[in-house]
Each structure stands twice: as C-alpha cells, then as structure tokens.
C-alpha cells in the first residue's frame, strides 16, 4: 500500500516541532513513547523539548505508532514513512538520533537496526532489551506482545519477538556500529536492569561503542533532574 502520510498531514501521525525550527535544520531527534503512549501532542511538548530543540536547529519528532507496537515490522515502516514526510516538509534529509524510554527505549534500539536510514546515534532510558523475557516479567505484557507479533511471519511468537529484541540482536551482532548510550535506573521495578540493560550492554560492547549510565536509587524511567539534563545533552551532543 502506498503511504498515506504526507508532508501536509504528518501532524496527524506525529508531533513535529517545525514551528519552532530555525532553518536550516541541523539534525533530527526521534523520540518513541512507552507502552500505552497515546498522547497527541499540541503545539509544544509538555517539557518544552520541541521549542528548545527547534531553537538549536534540531527537528523533534514523536511518532504516533500503535501504543502496543513494540517496534514490530509495521511500526518500523510507519516510522520510516513519518520521517520521509518530515524530510519533505523541511526540505531534505538530516542526521537522526533515535531516543525513547521503556518500550520507547526498545523502539529506538530496534528502529536503529531496521530503519531505512540508519540513525547516527541511539540514546535509551530504561529500555526493554530482552523481549521474550519481558513477556514473562509482568502479567500485563503477554496481551500486548501477542497483539504486536501474533501475525508475524515466524514459526513461533518467541521467534518473532527475538527479531525485535535488542539483546538477541546484539548477541547476533545484528546492530549497526554507531554510538549507543543506555541509561537505566537501579531501582527499576517495571523493567529489571540486570535482565535487560546489563545483559544487552555486555553483548553490544563486544562490537559497538556503548556508554552505560546506571542511575542510582531511582525507579522506572525516573532519571531525576540532573540525569535528565545529561540524557538530553547526550542526544543533542550527537548532532551539534
């Protein structure tokens, strides 16, 4: 099917901060939502990133993919279509940094692997990294993962999930060799740090540059003010 997403209607499919953009654009940050994220953002994002990034010449995009997508193949395709429409809207392609937290952390990592145009860096906050393990981690998760991968072209659900599981991609050295930065809160009760980021980073660092930043004493994706500033500086630092 031909894409229905165009430069004129892309704001129905993603938040784009081009109203704040100081031309010419220098880069693009794509920020993926966590599980269940269904918010359509208005003229600016709640924490002001759209305005702040735009003033630096950075395009900021939040794709409205299925809130249970887990970066399945259609979510990858839809994200590619969103970015193609954004490029047309701003008049050309620019370097991309992929970012996000929780399911959005998984999404930025998996999108980095499958994107039509590989990001120049990836920055994740408390990412889900072992998708088959995550299926067993909480009782609310199996329904979402079956929804995301039940129609996949794979023999089993486990096989389908492994194709969108950063840990398994890293084990197979099937991730681009670009800089990665992983933040993970040590008191995370939703996505176990040891089972996810610890294992993913250990596999990834065998072949790609990765910076691992544990955030002491904080719960899921709750970086705190100091680490949130570092998180944002890391993302922008890859583009500026």
pLDDT average per 10 residues of sequence, the chain (240 residues): 91 95 91 95 82 95 97 97 97 97 98 98 98 97 97 90 98 98 98 98 98 98 97 97
Whether 3 is in a domain gets the answer no
Whether 4 is in a domain gets the answer no
Q: How many domains does the chain have?
A: 1
Whether 61 is in a domain gets the answer yes
Q: What is the CATH number of the domain that holds 53?
A: 3.40.50.1820
CB atoms near residue 155 (< 10 Å): 8
HEC secondary structure over 60-86: EEEECCCCCCCCCHHHHHHHHHHHHHH
Q: Rounded to two decimals, what is the model's pTM? A: 0.96
Residue 18 lies in domain? 10-232
Cβ-contact 68, 117 below 8 angstroms = no
Find, among 160, 126, 155, the residue nearest to 145 by Cα. Answer: 160
Whether 240 is in a domain gets the answer no
Residue 154's pLDDT is 82
Tracing tokens 């996810």 back to the chain, one arrives at 196
**DSSP E strand boundaries for the chain:** 14-16, 27-32, 58-63, 96-101, 121-125, 180-185, 210-215
Residue 23's pLDDT is 72
CB atoms near residue 24 (< 10 Å): 10
């Amino acid at each position: 099917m031909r894409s229905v997403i165009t430069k004129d209607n892309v704001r129905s499919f993603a938040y784009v901060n081009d109203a704040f953009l100081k031309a010419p654009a220098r880069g693009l940050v794509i920020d993926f939502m966590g599980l269940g994220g269904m918010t359509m953002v208005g003229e600016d994002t709640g924490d002001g990133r759209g305005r702040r990034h735009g003033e630096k010449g950075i395009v900021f995009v939040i794709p409205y993919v299925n809130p249970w997508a887990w970066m399945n193949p259609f979510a990858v395709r839809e994200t590619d279509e969103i970015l193609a429409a954004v490029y047309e809207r701003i008049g050309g392609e620019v370097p991309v940094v992929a970012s996000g937290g929780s399911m959005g952390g998984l999404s930025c990592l998996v999108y980095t692997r499958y994107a039509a145009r590989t990001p120049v860096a990836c920055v994740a906050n408390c990412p889900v990294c072992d998708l088959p393990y995550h299926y067993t981690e909480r009782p609310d998760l199996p329904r979402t993962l079956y929804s995301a991968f039940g129609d996949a072209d794979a023999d089993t659900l486990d096989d389908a999930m492994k194709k969108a599981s950063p840990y398994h991609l890293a084990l197979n050295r099937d991730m681009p060799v670009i800089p990665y930065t992983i933040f993970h809160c040590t008191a995370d009760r939703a996505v176990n740090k040891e089972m996810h980021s610890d294992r993913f980073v250990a596999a990834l660092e065998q072949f790609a540059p990765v910076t691992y930043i544990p955030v002491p004493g904080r719960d899921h994706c709750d970086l705190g003010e100091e680490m949130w500033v570092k998180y944002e500086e890391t993302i922008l630092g890859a583009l500026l």
